[in-house]
Amino acid sequence: MACTSTTSACSRRTGGSISGHGGGGTVSRQGEHVGTAPTPLRTRAPARVRVAGRRLATQVGTATAGLRVRPDFVLAGAQRCGTTSLFRALMAHPQVVRPSFHKGVNYFDVNYERGPAWYGGHFPLRSAVSVRTARAGGPCVFEASGYYLYHPLAIERLVRELPQVKVVVMLRDPVERAFSAWKHESARGFETESFERALELEPERLAGEEERIRSDPAYQSFAHRHQSYLHRGHYADQLDRASAVLPREQLHVIESADFFGEPEGTFLELTDFLGISRTLPPHFDRYNARPGDMDPATRLRLGEYFAPHDARLEAYLRGVPSWRDAAGA
């Protein structure tokens, strides 16, 4: 197995950075703009063809699940913290193997009732993966589902089915994450209120939802998944819950500011944690940013709100979170 366990957390570094904040802008390791990646052929096919193809592939995959690889690590969130950008960087590594279709399968959160064979059907055949990665040092398989960290049952389910799995988490200033999530959900049509009004409504929207998810494993909460802006930024609670079932040496926490500011060093720390070769991608990309300005008074209020939650992160980051450190908090 290529992936081996180590304990690591991000440290402050010097070096190149990823410029810009959206749309797939691409920079080299030295920061030179080199363009954007071509669109994969499968994403250019008509929607009905893609849906039919995925359905057939899932059926075949489920039937042959015993012949397929399972994840060595999972990128579990947090949502709107740069996981898509990290996913793309990982895909460039010669040992890393992704799911066959989506970057995330969302099995341990909203598809758990479908069973382990369904989950296994989303990954490539073991024989094909072995051949493809043989010269590189063997495969390291992963998926990226950003709801896993926040879902109250997902990490527990993950560890129960894959006890040796490693979990990688990215964290961002929760104030910025909340605003970014609101913009994201608004653009998708899942949020119709203003940011400030959505924050006011959040306690009412989330009331009893986590308890219902725990009591009814088949229940899917729209509000919990799409309209949690403040509560989803309680990172320490989520990491504590994960650490209760996952050995700390199997958990790796990355600050988004480290990855976007010092991508080379941050990425190499991750390869060391995963036990794969220290191979950098030819360039680092930044995806899915949604520019916009938050009201300064709202920003200040949210900074105060998250302060006690951020303080509890020092045990996981080995220091004050960068967004607090920069503010002199």
> DSSP assignment of 287-302, as one string?
---------HHHHHHH
Q: State residue 18's pLDDT score.
A: 58
Ramachandran sector of residue 55 (left: φ over 0; alpha: ψ -120 to 50; beta: rest): alpha
pLDDT at 28: 35
Cβ neighbours around 26 below 10 Å, total:
21
Q: What is the pLDDT of residue 53?
A: 73
Q: What tokens appear for 122 in the block?
A: 């989303």
Report how far residue 218's alpha carbon sits from residue 222's, in angstroms, rounded to the nearest whole number: 13
Per-residue pLDDT at 23 = 39
Phi first, then psi: what are they for 140, rounded to 5°? -135, 105
Question: Which residues 6+ apart lie within 8 Å of 115 measured at CB?
Answer: none
pLDDT at residue number 42? 53
Q: How far apart are CA 245 and CA 237, in angstroms?
A: 13
Q: Which residues contact 211 (CB under 8 A, 6 or more apart)?
A: none
Structure confidence at residue 24 (pLDDT)? 40
How many residues comprise the chain? 329
Full pLDDT tens readout for the chain, 329 residues: 455 433 344 444 434 555 443 334 433 333 333 333 444 555 567 877 777 777 777 788 899 999 999 999 999 999 999 999 999 999 999 999 999 888 889 999 999 999 999 999 999 999 999 999 999 999 999 999 999 999 999 999 999 999 999 999 999 999 999 999 999 999 999 999 999 999 999 999 999 999 999 999 889 999 999 999 999 999 999 999 999 999 999 999 999 999 999 999 999 999 999 999 999 999 897 776 666 789 999 999 999 999 999 999 999 998 999 999 876 54
The three-point CA angle 63-66-68 to 5° equals: 95
The pair of three-digit structure tokens given for residue 170, joined into one six-digit string: 């990215």
Tell me how far apart the alpha carbons of residues 172 and 284 are, in angstroms, rounded to a whole number. Answer: 18
Tokens 């990128």 belong to residue = 75
Q: How far is CA 320 from CA 89, 251, 283, 326, in A?
A: 26, 18, 29, 10
